[in-house]
Amino acid sequence: MSISDKIIELQAAAEAAMAKASTTAALEDVRVEFLGRKAELPNLLRGVAELPPQERGAVGKAANEARKSLERQLDQKAGQLAVAELDTRLEQDRVDVTLPADPLPAIGRLHLITQTRREIEDVFIGLGYAIADGPEVETVYYNFDALNHDATHPARAWTDTFYISDDVLLRTHTSPMQVRSMELQKPPIYVIVPGRVYRRDSDITHTPQFHQIEGLAVDEGITLTDLKGTLLTFARAIFGPEREIRLRPHFFPFTEPSVEVDVSCFNCHNGVLDNGDRCGLCKGTAWIEILGSGMVDPNVLLHVKDNGYDPETVQGFAFGMGIERIAMLKHGVTDLRLFYDNDIRFLEQFA
């Protein structure tokens, strides 16, 4: 094959390879293959010197033009590919800075006490009750006197209660909000009061600070059956629609009659587990105590008689429950102190 034919063949092969190259990198490979130091075309150019003089001019010129033409085409195509590649990269790497940031991953959840409080609040809001907040630093008057506690009631003792002075203390229950609420609002009143309470107590079932929810309903013609219906609705909402409640006679200074309220055990049948064992939750009794309650004592109403609470015209019921107790029963928590240890392994279990 003559050198001229070889040049034509190489140029055609180079142009075909160039046409196939779809990236700048592939194109550079073509450049090296056909125009690099070890490529055939430059070699041919070097061989021109050995040709007979009359051929040198034409062949040298042809080879040179072929090389220049290839370089021009390579440069042109490289330019086009580079622009296309930049376009794709810009398209793929595009960040829309106007998009809203991703929301932060959730970093926690509500404490079981808060969850339980809100659940109970929801039930009573559904029954038309308002929610009130009261002071944790309370007077002896609202905490004991106005609630009909006689002078010798044991809860008054400094060994049981945190006193700040002779007549100021950390409230031992949420019940002081009964008289406070009735001072602020004429009857009818339907209110619940969640909040912290304090007692000098500390063991597996007592902490010096815990949470209660007080309930108070005063209106004309309220009877014990209203109390029972309300608390049955509450018990079914919290512990399941199959629940029953029972009222047991009890004593509280500020209610008359007073009752303790039990819910039917949701862990067993009549005190017996499926495997025949005695139920540990209700201790085989089929009932679990959940709260204290009763009809508001007329002596309590007399403190707010001037605001419309004449015991001759209005009656009411009250109840008080421990939020921890409800949460422990419902979720099988066995040690009250777990609520306050802040061990993440405990807290995480209650989504």
Nearest distance from C-beta of residue 214 to ligand DAH, angstroms: 5
Element spanning 40, H or E: helix 40-47
The yes or no reply on residue 316 touching ligand DAH (CB under 6 A) is no
User: Which residues in the 243-272 window bind ligand DAH by CB under 6 A?
Assistant: 252, 255
CB of 289 to ligand DAH, least distance (A): 11
- Which stretch, 3-11, 58-66, 87-95, 314-322, contacts ligand DAH (CB under 6 A)? 314-322
Q: Which residue has the tokens 């080879």?
A: 63
Region from 110-118, 186-194, 306-314, 318-326 binding ligand DAH, contact rule CB under 6 A: 318-326
Element (H, E) at 233: helix 224-239
Tell me whether residue 154 or residue 241 sits nearer to ligand DAH (CB atom). Answer: 154
Site for ligand DAH in 208-247 (CB under 6 A): 214
Q: Which stretch binds ligand DAH (CB under 6 A): 87-95, 96-104, 287-295, 298-306?
A: 287-295
- The answer to whether 339 touches 333, Cβ cutoff 8 Å, is yes
Go through 309-337 and write b for each residue having 16 or more CB atoms within 10 A of its CB, e for each that does not. Answer: bebeebbbbbbbbbbbbbbbbbeebeebe
Q: Which of 11, 143, 293, 315 binds ligand DAH (CB under 6 A)?
A: 293
- The single residue among 134, 176, 316, 320 that binds ligand DAH, judged by CB under 6 A, is 320
User: Given the complex with ligand DAH, which of 181 and 264 has the nearer CB atom?
Assistant: 181
Please report, as a single letter, which amino acid is at residue 183. E
Least Cα distance to 48 among 59, 64, 62 occurs for 59
Could you tell me whether strands 315-322 and 130-131 are parallel, antiparallel, or unpaired per DSSP bridges? unpaired
Nearest CB to ligand DAH, comparing residues 161 and 175 = 175
User: Residue 250 CB, nearest distance to ligand DAH (Å)?
Assistant: 8
Angstrom distance (rounded) from CA 144 to CA 175: 9
Residues 146-205 that bind ligand DAH (CB under 6 A): 173, 175
Do the Cβ atoms of 346 and 338 come closer than 8 Å? yes
Residues 219, 147: Cα–Cα separation, whole Å? 19
Give the CB-nearest residue to ligand DAH: 320
Complex with ligand DAH: residue 161 or 293, whichever CB lies closer: 293
The answer to whether 324 touches 339, Cβ cutoff 8 Å, is yes
Q: Which residues contact 312 (CB under 8 A, 6 or more apart)?
A: none
Is position 315 an interface residue for ligand DAH (rule: CB under 6 A)? no
Beta carbon nearer to ligand DAH, 67 or 171: 171
CA separation for the pair 9, 66 (Å, rounded): 11
On whether the CB atoms of residues 27 and 77 are closer than 8 A, the answer is: yes
Q: How far is the CB of 121 from ligand DAH (least distance, A)?
A: 16
Q: Does 318 bind ligand DAH (CB under 6 A)?
A: yes
| Residue number with CB closer to ligand DAH (70 or 140) | 140
Q: How far is the CB of 347 from ligand DAH (least distance, A)?
A: 26
Nearer to ligand DAH, 293 or 315 (CB): 293
Residue-wise burial string across 121-137, b where 16 or more C-beta atoms lie within 10 A, e elsewhere? eebbeebebeebebeee
In whole angstroms, the minimum distance from the beta carbon of 237 to ligand DAH comes to 19
**Least CB distance to ligand DAH at residue 300 (A):** 10
For residue 173, give both structure tokens. 């229950």
Judged by CB under 6 A, the stretch of 18-26, 159-167, 272-280, 313-321 that binds ligand DAH is 313-321
Q: Is 289 exposed, middle or buried (0-12, 13-18, 19+ CB in 10 A)?
A: middle
- For ligand DAH, the binding residues (CB under 6 A) are 173, 175, 214, 252, 255, 292-294, 318-320
